[in-house]
Amino acid sequence: MKLLQKTNRTYLILSASAFAIAGLLTYFILSLFIESQLNEKLSDSKVHLINTIERSGIIYTDPPYIEVREEPVVSEIKDFFSDTILFDSSENESVPFRQLTGTSLINGKNYKIIIRNTLIEKSDFLLTIILTTGSVFVLLLLSLYFINKKLSSKIWSPFYSILDELKKFSQENTSFVLTTTGGIEEFEELRSTLNKLTTKVISDYQLLKRFTEDASHEIQTPLSIIQSRLESLIQAPDLTEIQASKIHSAYSASARLAKLTRSMLFLARIENRQYPESEKINLESIVRSQTEFFAEAIRDKSISVEIHSDSECILNANVFLAESLVQNLFGNAIKHSFRNSRIIIEISQESFVISNNGAALLVEPEKLFDRFYKVNSSSDSFGLGLSIAREICKAYNWNIIYIAKETLHTVIIKF
Amino acid sequence: MKILIIEDETDLLEAMVDYLTSEGIICETALTYFKAEDSLSVYSYDMIILDLTLPGGNGLDLIKLIKERNSSAGLLIVSARNSLNDKLTGLDLGADDYITKPFHLAELNSRIKSLARRRFFEGKNELTFNEIKINPDSFEVTVNGEIIDLTRKEYDILLYFMVNRDRVITRESIAEHIWGDNSTFADNFDFIYSHIKNIRKKIEQKKGTNYLHNIYGIGYKFCEK
């Protein structure tokens, strides 16, 4: 729920109940007030009537408003007020009255006096109150709504622009700073806190990237020593087979480690954008030269490679990275292809598509791009190949997707 | 051939010297920038192997000095940095080749030999081992005078063996030599096996001897017996 919606809803609920209570209170207070006013008026009328009768001697009646009857009862009734409903023939409907009933001794005779005054009908009365409070309520709501709308678009504008700026945040953008100012203290605070946070995130990220690179560097020299020492050990002429195989297993492990640090370093380099030199590259010629590079592997598995090129694809990129990318995807396709299957490569100005037939994928294709992700955990590979491919694509803002449909695997790069 | 190896890691330096000395190369060493400066100003070398990360100075500066004092020497750069910038700057300044740590000693040897061939024999540099001859300029291989038809990778492997003869060459080293560092196939040794099988077959077809010996399943050795 949006902030404005939420405040409006709260206003609506609160003011609706407040107005309902106010309406009821008005009704009861007004009723009481009118009643006491009427009572007073009726008492006055009675006094006036008695005076008139005393003075003129004429018994004045005006039904249903004034009724005077001679009553033989001597006992004096105290004036009392009551509500009654009488039929008004002129209006042809029942009309509510307030009436005063009392007795009075005038010129020695006892009279019963009833004085009435019309009451406003309760329903009319209620309706009037509902209508008035209702219209005030609607007016108030409308004005609140518009004021809120106006205010929130104005007051909250720095908030929304901070939000817009934040959406563009990326750890790669080292110069990221929120610039919105609106003169509202809370938002200023929000902005400076967020700026501190993003600066921290960016610097941590940079540090981490540096760390990978530095660590890989540092590992390389000791690895060279291990590797070259083991290599010379292998050369010893009087080595037994058992010794040789033990040395070799250590050697293989160090070679694997060397390959791993190299891949990690390569990945870190691409991330750190350390391949800035770029030139115009013909993608098809890279693909063709890679076909030659993999010739034996292709022949070995009896794979047929089809290259379709609709239009010439000229890319502006680093040659080394472009070659690595193609080699990576092509090599993967060959490695995971069935024997006697086909690899189809389609090249156009907008995209590069490579598809092959291999064992069906059991996981989400997107996972394959994760670092160190291996479908088969016993596999010798590090699971960095596709991460490298994606990182290269990222460096040039190309979009890489992997689609697996049963045994058909397709990698699409959109330039 | 006399070479100067400028490298600050004693252990690595020793391993390199051991390997190259047994290849008949005279090795001199320098552990620091200053020692290298000294040696370079006094002696002359056929080739210089330079590690770019040196205590006491930047290896790239040494390249200038080498070009002044020893301009005829071949220059091979070794670096842990593997940075393209370093590589390009190094090659721009006049280095002949570039190798990244960690490397196989056989690979280093192969690079040195290839560099030596290019620099000193001016193209007339056939490699001969009994009946097998390789001409690296025309990529031609002959056995008993008859040309055999090798694929590019088979050729590369045979040349690698010819340069590193009498040594156990591990499968890892061969794989990296032909597939490169970052290849998906660098850990796939089936191809190497089939390449070697093909090379043997092609040599034997021309009545050549099989000099490629399998060593305990860890690699191969190219030798008389």
| Residue of B16, B53, B184 best to disrupt the A interface, most CBs of A under 10 A | B184
A279-414: CATH superfamily: Histidine kinase-like ATPase, C-terminal domain (3.30.565.10)
Look at residues A189, A192, A156, A187 and name the one whose alpha carbon lies nearest to residue A177: A192
Token digits for A32? 């009481």
CA distance B31 to B159: 32
Measured between CA atoms, how close is B83 to chain A, in angstroms?
Answer: 8
- Residues A245-264 have pLDDT tens digits of 889 889 888 888 888 888 88
Spell out the domains of chain B, with CATH numbers in brackets: 2-120 (3.40.50.2300), 127-222 (1.10.10.10)
* Helix (H/G/I), strand (E/B), else coil: B83: coil
Q: Which residues, listed in sequence order, are joined to residue A131 by a DSSP beta bridge? A: none
Selecting from B102, B191, B216 the residue whose C-beta is nearest the C-beta of A220 gives: B102
Pairing of strands B219-222, B212-215: antiparallel
Residue A59 has pLDDT above 90, yes or no: no
Using the structure block, give the residue that is written with the tokens 């596709």: A386
* In contact, B138 and B152? CB cutoff 8 Å: no
Sign of the CA dihedral with A216 first, then A219, A220, and A221 last: positive
- Beta carbons within 8 Å of B184's beta carbon, 6+ residues apart: A327, A328, A331, A332, A335, A381, A385
Residue B55 has pLDDT above 70, yes or no: yes
Residue B84 has pLDDT above 60, yes or no: no
pLDDT at A332: 87
Is-cis flag, bond preceding B55, omega within 30? no
pLDDT at A380: 67
Q: What angle do CA B46, B47, B53 make, to 5 degrees?
A: 150
ipTM field: 0.78
Token digits for B4? 């100067």
- Residues A148-182 have pLDDT tens digits of 888 877 888 888 888 898 898 887 777 888 887 77
pLDDT above 90 covers what percent of chain B?
14
- Beta carbons within 8 Å of B206's beta carbon, 6+ residues apart: B143, B144, B146, B148
pLDDT above 90 covers what percent of chain A?
17
Exposed/middle/buried for residue A377 (C-beta within 10 Å: 0-12, 13-18, 19+): exposed
Pairing of strands B168-170, B26-30: unpaired
- Residues B112-123 have pLDDT tens digits of 988 888 777 655
**Amino acid, res. A187:** F
Q: What angle do CA B180, B181, B185 make, to 5 degrees?
A: 70
* In contact, A64 and A101? CB cutoff 8 Å: no
Which run of H or of E encompasses B213?
strand B212-215
- pLDDT bracket for residue A107 (50, 70, 90): confident
CA distance B185 to B192: 10
Look at residues A398, A332, A394 and name the one whose alpha carbon lies nearest to residue A365: A332
Which of residues A414 and A109 earns the better pLDDT score? A414
Class in CATH terms, A169-274:
mainly alpha
Residue A211 has pLDDT above 90, yes or no: no
Interface of A with B in 246-275 (CB under 8 A): 247-248, 251-252, 254-256, 258-259, 262-263, 265-266, 269, 274-275
Selecting from A228, A254, A275 the residue whose C-beta is nearest the C-beta of B16 gives: A228
- pLDDT bracket for residue A383 (50, 70, 90): confident
- Beta carbons within 8 Å of A119's beta carbon, 6+ residues apart: A38, A83, A95, A96, A97, A98
- pLDDT bracket for residue A215 (50, 70, 90): confident
Q: Which residues, listed in sequence order, are joined to residue B74 by a DSSP beta bridge? A: B47
Are the Cβ atoms of B83 and A251 closer than 8 angstroms?
A: no
* Helix (H/G/I), strand (E/B), else coil: B147: strand
- Residues B167-197 have pLDDT tens digits of 888 888 888 888 876 566 656 677 888 889 9
User: Rounded to 5 degrees, what are φ and ψ at A306?
Assistant: -110, 130
Measured between CA atoms, how close is B67 to chain A, in angstroms?
Answer: 26
pLDDT above 70 covers what percent of chain A?
98
Sign of the CA dihedral with A331 first, then A335, A339, and A343 last: negative
pLDDT at A355: 93
pLDDT at B185: 63
* Helix (H/G/I), strand (E/B), else coil: B96: coil
Residue B86 has pLDDT above 70, yes or no: no
pLDDT at A313: 87
Token digits for A21? 């209570």
Selecting from A245, A274, A328 the residue whose C-beta is nearest the C-beta of B83 gives: A274
pLDDT at B183: 61
pLDDT at A300: 82
pLDDT at A17: 92
Q: Which residues, listed in sequence order, are joined to residue A401 by a DSSP beta bridge? A: A412
- Residues A303-332 have pLDDT tens digits of 999 999 888 889 899 888 898 899 889 988
User: Would you kindly state where each structural domain of chain A is located, as residue ranges?
Assistant: 3-147, 169-274, 279-414
Selecting from A229, A297, A332 the residue whose C-beta is nearest the C-beta of B11 gives: A229
